């Protein structure tokens, strides 16, 4: 039995895995788990990942959860080019540093903007207040400034002259707010140039394919979301915004 990746490309970490596997010619079977239909909450998927989250990996009888762990497993198993996760101690430490920081910063704030701008009005039936939108946008802008000044600086990529896992993970997260209609690259030339380099390094067409779904997410309607998932989102978002 070959390698199986359980993914939904609406999810940022799933897109990172998909792009990484495809760009490195890693053979895998794409198992589509539709989040909006609640397929990650089924008993069948629970056997693959009891945490009921995507992405998940199955390699024979071995299963693995958590996107960073899966990326590193693939990099090691398939001996991908060194630049992805450098053997040089300090370069690897830079990748680890970014991957550790991004969870509650780029990922946290980018996801919050996406959920607030796209899902909250859908769930409440009320338009989003300008004050609320301004608040979540400002939170994201703070971490974007940190990303540029601390991690990117004046380098082509986060670790230096070559793309690494850090750049790929950063790009897919930054595309989430873009999917909500906030083009954060527009007034940030340094960030826009970095995005272009990352996309060129993995292939523009592959990036476009991976992000097609999320870039259409602003057209999402409530009838496309499983009822129990709607309730879950509503509880989470209203708790967040109270």
pLDDT of 135-183, one tens digit each?
Answer: 999 999 999 999 999 999 999 999 999 999 999 999 999 999 999 999 9
Residues 78, 119 within the same domain: no
Residue 105 to residue 14: CA distance in whole angstroms: 18
Residues 77, 97 within the same domain: no
CA distances from 59 to 6, 16, 62, 138, 188 (A): 11, 18, 5, 42, 41
Residues 98, 154 within the same domain: yes
Residue 93 to residue 38: CA distance in whole angstroms: 37
Residues 117, 17 within the same domain: no
Residues 67, 95 within the same domain: no
- Helix locations, the chain, DSSP H: 12-23, 43-46, 67-77, 89-102, 108-114, 120-124, 130-146, 165-179, 189-202, 204-215, 227-241
Question: What angle, 0 to 180 degrees and rounded to 10, lies between the N-to-C axes of helices 189-202 and 165-179?
Answer: 120
Secondary structure (3-state) at 103: helix
pTM equals: 0.94
Residues 224, 182 within the same domain: yes
Residues 145, 214 within the same domain: yes
Residue 215 tokens, joined: 């870039």
Residue 24 to residue 202: CA distance in whole angstroms: 9
In this structure, of 32-36, 44-48, 221-225, the range with the lowest mean pLDDT score is: 221-225
Residue 152 to residue 145: CA distance in whole angstroms: 10
Residues 72, 97 within the same domain: no
Residue 242 tokens, joined: 């109270």
Q: Are 30 and 234 in contact (CB under 8 A)?
A: no
Nearest to 218 by CA among 106, 115, 108: 115
Secondary structure (3-state) at 147: helix
pLDDT of 108-119, one tens digit each?
Answer: 999 999 989 998
In this structure, of 12-16, 141-145, 230-234, the range with the lowest mean pLDDT score is: 230-234
CATH code at 18? 3.40.30.10
Backbone angles phi, psi at 98, to 5 degrees: -65, -45
For 159, residues 6+ apart whose C-beta sits below 8 A from its C-beta are 83, 86, 91, 94, 95, 166, 167
- Final residue of a structural domain among 82, 117, 152: 82
pLDDT at 233 over 80: no
Average pLDDT taken over every residue of the chain = 93
Overall number of domains in the chain = 2
Domain membership of residue 190 as a residue range: 89-240
Residues 65, 98 within the same domain: no
Residues 167, 60 within the same domain: no
CATH code at 94? 1.20.1050.10
- Across 187-212, average pLDDT: 98
What is the percentage of the chain residues whose pLDDT exceeds 90? 81
Nearest to 36 by CA among 171, 221, 183: 221
Residues 105, 60 within the same domain: no
- Across 5-19, average pLDDT: 97
User: Would you state the pLDDT for residue 219?
Assistant: 78
228 or 57, which is more confident = 57
231 or 178, which is more confident = 178
pLDDT at 223 over 80: no
User: Would you state the pLDDT for residue 121?
Assistant: 86
- Final residue of a structural domain among 82, 117, 140: 82
- Final residue of a structural domain among 56, 82, 108: 82
Residue 201 tokens, joined: 């390094």
pLDDT at 228 over 90: no
What is the percentage of the chain residues whose pLDDT exceeds 70? 95
Residues 131, 226 within the same domain: yes
Residue 176 to residue 154: CA distance in whole angstroms: 24
Residue 74 to residue 95: CA distance in whole angstroms: 16
pLDDT band at 229 (very low <50, low <70, confident <90, very high): confident
pLDDT at 1 over 80: no
Dihedral angle computed from the Cα positions of residues 220, 221, 224 and 229, in that order, rounded to the nearest 10 degrees: 90
């Amino acid at each position: 039995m070959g390698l199986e990746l359980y993914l939904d490309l609406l999810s940022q970490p799933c897109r990172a895995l998909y792009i990484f596997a495809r760009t490195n010619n890693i053979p895998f079977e794409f198992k589509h788990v539709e989040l909006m239909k609640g397929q990650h909450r089924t008993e069948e998927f629970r056997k693959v990942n009891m945490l009921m989250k995507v992405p998940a990996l199955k390699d024979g009888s071995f299963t693995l959860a958590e996107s960073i762990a899966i990326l590193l497993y693939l990099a090691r198993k398939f001996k991908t080019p060194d630049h992805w996760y450098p053997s040089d101690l300090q370069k690897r430490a830079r990748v680890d540093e970014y991957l550790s920081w991004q969870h509650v910063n780029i990922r946290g704030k980018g996801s919050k903007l996406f959920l607030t701008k796209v899902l909250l009005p859908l769930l409440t039936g009320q338009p989003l207040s300008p004050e609320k939108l301004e608040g979540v946008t400002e939170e994201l802008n703070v971490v974007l400034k940190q990303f540029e000044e601390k991690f990117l600086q004046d380098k082509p990529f986060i670790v230096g002259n070559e793309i690494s896992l850090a750049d790929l993970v950063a790009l897919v997260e930054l595309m989430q707010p873009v999917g909500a209609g906030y083009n954060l690259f527009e007034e940030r030339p340094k960030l826009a140039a970095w995005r272009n380099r990352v996309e060129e390094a993995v292939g523009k067409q592959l990036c476009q394919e991976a992000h097609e779904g999320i870039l259409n997410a602003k057209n999402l309607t409530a009838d496309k979301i499983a009822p129990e998932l709607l309730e879950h989102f509503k509880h989470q978002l209203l708790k967040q915004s109270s």
